Amino acid sequence: MTATTDTTAARTGERTSPAVARPEIMPERSSVFDRVLVAVFVAVPLLALIAAVPLAWGWGLGWHDVVLAIAFYYISGLGVSVGLHRYFTHGSFKAVRGFKIALALAGSLAIEKPVITWVADHRRHHKYSDKEGDPHSPWRFGSDAKALAKGLAYAHIGWMFDGDITSEEKFCPDWLADPDISAISRWFPALVTTSLLAPALIGGLWSMSWAGALTAFFWATLVRIAFLHHITWSINSICHTFGRKEFEVRDKSRNVSWLAILSFGESWHNLHHADPTCARHGVLKGQIDIAARTIWLAEKLGWAYAVRWPEAARLTGKQTGEARKLGAMTRRETARPTG
């Protein structure tokens, strides 16, 4: 099997038998230092998020901080949703070089993982979703209450401390061969530094004060990162446990409406697993999908093309229960003229 065929299978979740099998998990495990670093990047922003309410109640939150926090949340969050997930992992659309690079940079600012590492983990998740081999299924320990509680904690945050390393050569031969994305993945430490310090620099210059730099660092760096991380991780945990099943799938993925806006449409997770390459996840009428609207705008501007918009003929056959109307951006077959 060629690298192209292998990548297509990884994007769509299809199971194939490669002629030359590459290991899916690297023989070496992540180092203790790597896992301590993960703990630091999880714990420090989380502590900031816990401290945010009393700080906001008494002092330390200005409109500069709000603007910066929202701006960086949108840039990094859409970088994850539009970039790391829908573009780099699933190929839901094609992008011109400038937009491709911008998406990789924006996704890296979320401080989740380097682009290629993030994609490799997520492609492995789709290959084994909620089965043995899935890196973060909440059902890995069983389905009784105690096992599920343990599984939810593992799927939400615990899996990142597992020493297993997904093989990038196995799951990401396409992006390893791309010099732009390989370089951006290598630059991840520098991009982490940028994401941490840029809000403080902007806040300090905007207010012309050290206090402005400090509050911007707290809100637009620490709180923003913690909030975005937990929204992203909720797709792994909550959206594979609770919610509505509106499309037939082979796993436990569900749609969770109250997470839709904060996750930019990622929480319409049941449809995503029913049709992984679809550019719009909230395909039903009334389902808000900010990432899909961003892709729509990029298509209008000429930055994105060959977009895989939802197709009515394919989706209606997968709907469960009482069928709801499909929403905007859905492609519908038009009646052919007769005679």
Structure-token match 């991009």, residue found: 191
Show the low-confidence residues of the chain (pLDDT under 50). Answer: 1-8, 10, 12, 14-19, 35, 38, 41, 335-339
Q: Residue 308 is which amino acid? A: R
The answer to whether residue 79 is domain-embedded is yes
| DSSP annotation string for 55-71 | HHHHS---HHHHHHHHH
Look up the pTM and report it. Answer: 0.84
The answer to whether residue 203 is domain-embedded is yes
84 phi/psi in degrees, rounded to 5? -55, -40
Q: Residue 260 is which amino acid? A: A
- Interval 280-309: pLDDT, tens: 999 999 999 999 999 999 999 999 999 999
Q: How many domains does the chain have?
A: 1
CA–centroid distance for 298 within its chain: 18
Domain range enclosing 102 = 3-17+31-242
The pLDDT of residue 337 is: 44
The answer to whether residue 23 is domain-embedded is no
Structure-token match 């949108």, residue found: 74
- Residue/partner pairs of 257-261 with CB below 8 Å, 24 or more apart: 257/287, 259/231, 259/234, 259/235, 260/287, 260/288, 260/289, 261/288, 261/290
The answer to whether residue 310 is domain-embedded is no
The answer to whether residue 306 is domain-embedded is no
The answer to whether residue 275 is domain-embedded is no
The answer to whether residue 143 is domain-embedded is yes
The answer to whether residue 312 is domain-embedded is no
